[in-house]
Amino acid sequence: MRQTKKVYVKTFGCQMNVYDSERITEHLGANGYAETATIDDADLIVLNTCHIREKAADKVYSDLGRLRELKDERRALGLDTMVAVAGCVAQAEGAEIVARAPVVDLVIGPQSYHRMPELLVRAKAEARTFVEIAFPEDEKFAHLPARSGVPARSASAFLTVQEGCDKFCTFCVVPYTRGAEYSRSVDELVTEAEKLVARGVREITLLGQNVNAFHGTGPDNQAWSLARLIRRLAEIDGVERLRYTTSHPRDMADDLIKAHAEVGKLMPYLHLPFQAGSDRILAAMNRKHTAAEYRALVRKIRDARPDIALSTDIIVGFPGETDAEFSQTLDLISDVGFAQAYTFKYSPRPGTPAAKMDGQVPEEVKAERLVRLQALLEVEHAKFNAGCVGRTVPVLFEKTGRQDGQVIGRSPYLQHVAALGDKTLIGQIRAVAINSASPYSLAGTVQAS
Ligand code: SAH
Ligand code: SF4
Ligand code: F3S
């Protein structure tokens, strides 16, 4: 019998990479690789990388430096180690990676993961490095094997419904690393959702770089909107909760807003990046909406679903941003009120228009704005969480906590909720009376069912 090899996968970046890593691991599993959590034992190390900001990309090279030492140490013991770089750095930098880090055996872009086992065999047999970063005509999901019956890692799972982006915000690499927008078919997604449920998943988060631009082909051969897909997935027995991310304000269609009012399984939480509060900066970013349009959109969404919690992404120090323009970002935050926010210092990315714009903002100024922004957001998050104290909310328990006898789950608003209770609660949705809050989490008491 062929001996099982071991694979260690390290994931950087967004949830789409988390989903891809899971699919890669499953695909390699069907090709003789068992997953290991110990990097020293791995015959194959896969770095699933992110190119969104300079720091994220740099991490890959420092990791590759360490992997060279690990490979040498294992070689001294007579063990062979292969290294594959996947994800968005692979797509963006291709052969440059091999030039900078000869330790790499395979560079593979996000559209080619179905070819990984075959390319690894060839790289080994031919003792050379392969770089596979074309955007193939055929679709990777059609070639990856169907999801297996192995139990899910958690009661909550990701499902990529849409990949790529045609929006070309001037700061962003995603349209280059993930290519043009592509939506998977409804049948394929229903089948995958049913498989996830059979594995014990109760909550599914639909993923896409622009998830609300979803337009997958339905069983009627028509293009289905995200709202229609959500309604179809909500019909599946065992799917208890649905979420989706990331949405673009421009694609927040009326039927999607209506789904928030009508589909009980669709959680009252929406990640809706606004990036900046100044119209001049929004235009320079090519976001194609104004701050007033964003405010109006939020009002419309809250009219449909008054308790919806909003989260957002914000960039500080985009080229040319003045202090007064940055203040407009702070104003927008105070006006809207966010339950959660992800904040970034603008990072110039090779090949993007903003990287060449005049008025690049000095690092100290970006750092100072980030501190002010985060101070305001912490107050906002604390306010949102404090507002939940005294309420009873349904919590999907996902894991044990750090303290003995503690379990951790998520509220409908995606807050972490800690409660006392035993492991049998994991995978269950239970009513929890919330009795305390911090800016980061809630704590409460599980109610008798
Ligand atoms: N598709 C999503 C987000 C993709 S990237 C959207 O359109 O909102 C996730 C977040 O990273 C972005 O929302 C943005 O806030 C941030 N980001 C992207 N490029 C960046 C850059 N060059 N510098 C700093 N932050 C960036
Ligand atoms: Fe990047 Fe803009 Fe596309 Fe989002 S919408 S992935 S920020 S280009
Ligand atoms: Fe990073 Fe690629 Fe996701 S650049 S944020 S891993 S789409």
Question: pLDDT digit string (tens) for 77-103?
Answer: 999 999 999 999 999 999 899 999 999
Residue among 203, 117, 130, 215 nearest 164 (CA): 215
Enumerate the β-bridge partners of residue 172: none
Q: Is 178 in the pocket of ligand 3 (CB under 6 A)?
A: yes
Pocket test for ligand 2, best of 52, 166, 167 (most atoms within 8 A of CB): 167
248 and 378 both lie in a single domain: yes
What's the pLDDT score for residue 65?
Answer: 94
Strand partners, 183: 162
Using CA atoms, how far apart are residues 257 and 275, in angstroms rounded to an integer? 21
Q: Give yes or no: residues 71 and 144 share one domain.
A: no
Whether 156 shows a pLDDT value over 70: the answer reads yes
What pLDDT was estimated at residue 141? Answer: 78
* Same domain for 258 and 290: yes
Alpha-carbon distances, residue 403 vs 397, 411, 418, 421 (angstroms): 15, 20, 10, 11
Which residue, by CA, sits nearest to atom 9 of ligand 1?
Answer: 313
What are residue 218's phi and psi, to 5 degrees? -90, 175
Residues 401-430: tens digit of each pLDDT: 988 899 999 999 999 999 999 999 999 999
Nearest CA to ligand 2 atom 2: 169
CA–CA separation, 134 vs 127, rounded Å? Answer: 22
φ/ψ of 108, rounded to 5, equals -140, 125
Q: Name the band, by pLDDT with cuts 50, 70 and 90, for residue 134.
A: confident
Mean pLDDT value of segment 335-364: 97
Whole-structure pTM value:
0.95
CATH number of the domain within which 439 lies? 2.40.50.140
- Residue 3: per-residue pLDDT: 66
User: Domain residues for 440?
Assistant: 392-446
Whether residues 397 and 364 share a domain: the answer is no
Burial of 226 (0-12, 13-18, 19+ CB in 10 A): buried
Residue 185 confidence (pLDDT):
96
Question: What's the average model confidence in pLDDT over 389-401?
Answer: 96
Q: How far is the CA of 53 from the centre of ligand 2 (A)?
A: 13
Residue 405 neighbours by CB under 8 Å, 6+ apart = 420, 421, 422
**Is 303's pLDDT higher than 60?**
yes
Average pLDDT over residues 27-35: 93
* Mean pLDDT of the residues in the chain: 94
Peptide bond into 81 cis (omega under 30): no
23 closest CA partner among 139, 110, 144: 144
Confidence of residue 160 (pLDDT cuts 50, 70, 90): very high
Question: Of the given ranges (8-17, 20-29, 143-152, 383-392), which has the lowest mean pLDDT?
Answer: 143-152
Q: How far is CA 314 from CA 102, 201, 423, in A?
A: 37, 31, 37
Specify whether 373 is located in the same domain as 397.
Answer: no
Tens-digit pLDDT profile for residues 305-341: 999 999 999 999 999 999 999 999 999 999 999 999 9
* Residue located nearest, by CA, to atom 14 of ligand 1: 313
Residue 275 pairs with which residues in a beta bridge? 314
The reply to whether 277 and 292 lie within a common domain is: yes
- Tell me the H-state helices in 263-362: 279-284, 291-304, 323-336
For residues 216 and 360, membership in a common domain is answered with yes
pLDDT band with cut points at 50, 70 and 90 for residue 183: very high
299 and 358 belong to one structural domain: yes
Q: Give the pLDDT band (50/70/90) at residue 139.
A: confident
Total domains in the fold of the chain: 3
Task: Among 109, 132, 155, give the residue marking a domain's end.
Answer: 132
Query: Which pLDDT belongs to residue 144?
Result: 79
pLDDT in tens, 246-294: 999 999 999 999 999 999 999 999 999 999 999 999 999 999 999 999 9
Q: Is the pLDDT of residue 1 over 60?
A: no
Quote the CA–CA distance of 174 and 17 in Å, as a whole number: 12
Spacing of C-alpha 430 from chain mean position = 26
pLDDT digits (tens, 9 = 90+) for 42-60: 999 999 999 999 998 899 9
Confidence of residue 152 (pLDDT cuts 50, 70, 90): low
Predicted local distance difference test score (pLDDT) of residue 147: 74
> How far does the centroid of ligand 2 lie from the alpha carbon of residue 380, in Å?
25
- What pLDDT, on the 0 to 100 scale, is given for residue 149? 63
Which residue in the block uniquely carries the two structure tokens 């631009």? Answer: 213
Q: How confident is the model at residue 143 (pLDDT cuts 50, 70, 90)?
A: confident
pLDDT of residue 393: 97
Within this chain, do residues 126 and 230 fall inside the same structural domain, yes or no?
Answer: no
Distance 20 CA to ligand 2 centre (A): 19
Query: Do the Cβ atoms of 52 and 13 come closer than 8 Å?
Result: yes
Does residue 64 register a pLDDT over 60?
A: yes
Per-residue model confidence as pLDDT tens digits over 185-218:
999 999 999 999 999 999 999 999 999 999 999 9
Stretch 115-131: mean pLDDT, rounded?
92
Please indicate, yes or no, whether residues 147 and 244 belong to a single structural domain of this protein: yes
pLDDT at 2 over 90: no
Sheet with 156-160, edge to edge strand ranges = 156-160, 203-207, 241-245
What mean pLDDT comes out for the span 134-139?
Answer: 75
| For range 375-395, the mean pLDDT | 96
Judgement on whether residues 242 and 360 belong to the same structural domain of the protein? yes
Distance between Cα 207 and ligand 2 center (Å): 14
Query: In angstroms, rounded to a whole number, what is the distance separating the alpha carbons of residues 263 and 257?
Result: 10
Q: Which atom of ligand 3 is nearest to the CA of 92?
A: 4
Mean pLDDT score, 432-442: 94
Mean pLDDT of 171-191: 95
**CB of 245 closer than 6 angstroms to any ligand 3 atom:** no
| Residue 168 CA to ligand 2 centre (angstroms) | 6
Mean pLDDT of 130-134: 91
Closest C-alpha residue for ligand 2 atom 5: 167
Ligand showing the shortest atom-to-Cα distance for residue 49: 3
Ligand 2 touching residue 342 (CB < 6 A)? no
Q: Report pLDDT for 429.
A: 97
Q: Are residues 66 and 125 in the same domain?
A: yes
Whole-number percent of the chain with pLDDT over 70: 98
Q: What is the CATH number of the domain that holds 356?
A: 3.80.30.20
Task: Report the candidate in 8, 20, 359 with the shortest Cα–Cα distance to residue 170.
Answer: 359
Q: Looking at residue 137, what is its pLDDT?
A: 64
What whole-number percentage of the chain has pLDDT above 90?
Answer: 91
Q: Read off the CATH number of the domain in which 120 is found.
A: 3.40.50.12160
For residue 446, the cross-strand partners are 432
Pocket test for ligand 1, best of 318, 342, 344, 356 (most atoms within 8 A of CB): 344
Give the residue from 111, 132, 153 where a domain finishes. 132
Final residue of a domain: which of 386, 401, 421? 386
Residue in 51, 171, 182 to alter for ligand 3 test, most ligand atoms within 8 A of Cβ: 51
pLDDT greater than 90 at residue 148: no
Residues lining ligand 1, judged by CB closer than 6 Å? Answer: 52-53, 171-172, 174, 209-210, 246, 248, 273, 275, 313, 315, 344, 346-347, 349
